[in-house]
Structure 1
Amino acid sequence: MEEAAAPPQKRFYRQRAHANPLADHTLRYPARPQDMDWAPLFPAFFPPAAPPAQPPPRVEFADVGCGYGGLLVELSPLFPRTLMLGLELRVKVAAFAGERIRALRAAQPGRFGNVACLRANAMKHLPHFFRKAQLSKMFFLFPDPHFKRTKHKWRIISPTLLAEYGYVLRPGGADPIVARLGTSTEEGRKVQRGGRRIFPAVFRRLQDPAAGGDT
């Protein structure tokens, strides 16, 4: 059992809203998805005495740019047996999300073991973490559109990156999670307090025609 810890205070983890995803950050990532050790992030799902013949669990949901972890915390009790990973590039913000999850695990034993946050650059290293068709859901909540032409290369949603998202996603569709996307994160609640509208966009991964499925 983890030692009880006080929840982190966001005022100690403030950071600029954006980090340059094209810069050379000091990051650690596996050469291949099969080289990733998930046990430190999800110890409850990787017990030391697990039967060797039992296939290890895999991350199913990915929250790209997870911020302070609001969506992960919201979805954790809804899908208690599903592993969810938040990917966040900003150092202090990723640290807050990790501390927040650890504090929740300690305060509520047996809960929130299925969510974790990892400091990572999804624009560069996504295929290093996830196999082909591994993920059933990906979330991009309130991404900055980067209106300036010189910053278009920073966009997390682009034709080039869509090919990578399609690679790690399996065919599937929307579900009741959609109703929570605008209210579970700090950014979403800020928009609501300001009386502004949220414009969700939901996309489904289609079956590859070359695989003989429907489009």
Structure 2
Amino acid sequence: MAKRKRTQATSSQIENFLLPQKKHYRQRAHANPFSDHSLDYPSSPGVIHWASHYPAFHDTGKIPEFADIGCGFGGLLIALAPLFPDVLMLGMEIRVQVSQYVEDRIAALRVTASESSAGIDAIPHDYQNVSVVRANAMKFLPNYFSKHSLSSLFFLFPDPHFKSRKHKARIISPTLLAEYAFVLRPGGIVYTITDVKDLHEWMKVHLTAFPLFEPVDEETLRKEGKGPIIDAVYTSTEEGKKVQRNGGDKWLACFRRVQVSRNS
């Protein structure tokens, strides 16, 4: 009798089996940032046990350097993780089901990496440098990030809040820009992208008017080696892919945190 040949699952088969399905995490597209969402949040960045988020980095002293505000289903985090394996990245998402999906997705990808390292098929990255928290960034951003701790802040396809009376809920506003400038180190970059021209202009006007930010064009950032980040900003999110499928426009605007010189 012929000996039965053993077959090995590929990393793709393992990943498809383990990854969560979005259909089980359905939720409204947007959430009211002014509502009481019964969130637990740290009293300060210093009390956060980052090792629980990034166990592979527990003895390095590293803290998150990239922050994706309103990370949605985590497309940007998953795209950037292999490109910057030594950079810790944190997604912030207010919707409970969506943030749970991202958490489960990261856990599944880490297990996939573990299975691959056990001798199945190698995959390029273990996703130990990405994590997510359910949080309202409009209220609690300084509770997670200390002064000048971030090098990149991402606002990708944020809720446009079309009605004028809702503009105060937009994630880019004069009040919130002070917080973004606080957590972003000098030279750090704010990345914004949207398919809504009015929102694009709104974000540009407010960021340009704020004294601690200056506009930086895409060509300059690519020359500085940030091309892979720009590409991920354009293409990695669910919203970005939808706009691309529908043949819509994407409006990118990036700003650099200004170094302030103080005269004695």
- Is the TM-score greater than 0.5? yes
Identity among equivalent positions (%) equals: 55
User: Residue in 1 aligned with 2:167?
Assistant: 152
1:34 paired with 2:42, answer no
1:118 is matched with 133
One-letter amino acid of the counterpart of residue 259, structure 2: Q
What is the deviation of 1:182? 1.2
Could you tell me how far 1:161 is from its partner in structure 2? Answer: 0.4
| Gap runs ≥5 in structure 1 | none
Q: Comparing both structures, which one devotes a greater share of its residues to strand? A: 2
Q: Which residue of 1 aligns with 2:253?
A: 201
The offset of 1:154, in angstroms, is 1.1
Residue 82 (structure 1) aligns with: 87
Name 2:216's counterpart in structure 1. Answer: none
* Equivalences, count: 203
Output aligned runs, 1:129-140, within 5 Å. Answer: 129-140=144-155
Residue of structure 1 aligned with 2:104, choices 64, 85, 99: 99
Q: Secondary structure at the match of 2:150?
A: coil
Aligned residue in 1 for 2:142: 127
In structure 1, what is the equivalent of residue 70 of structure 2?
A: 65
Unaligned runs of 5+ in 2: 1-14, 115-124, 190-220
Distance between the aligned counterparts of 2:159 and 2:50, measured in 1? 29
Match of 2:235 among 183, 186, 201: 183
State the shift of 1:180 in Å.
Answer: 2.0
Cα distance in 1 for residues equivalent to 2:230 and 2:253? 9
The offset of 1:210, in angstroms, is 2.7
* 2:213 match: none
Q: Which amino acid aligns with 1:102?
A: A
Q: For 1:211 and 1:142, how far apart are their aligned partners in 2?
A: 39
Deviations 1:152-203 (A, max 9, x none): 1211011110110000001225422112211011110000000111111111
Q: Which amino acid in the other structure matches residue 93 of structure 1?
A: V
Q: Which runs of 4 or more aligned residues in structure 1 lie more than 4 Å from their structure 2 counterparts after TM superposition? A: none
Residue 211 of structure 1 deviates from its aligned partner by 7.4
1:13 aligns with 2:25: yes
| Separation of aligned partners in 1, 2:65 and 2:44 | 17
Inter-partner Cα distance in structure 2 for 1:78 and 1:200: 21
TM (normalized to structure 2)?
0.74
Partner of 2:34: 22
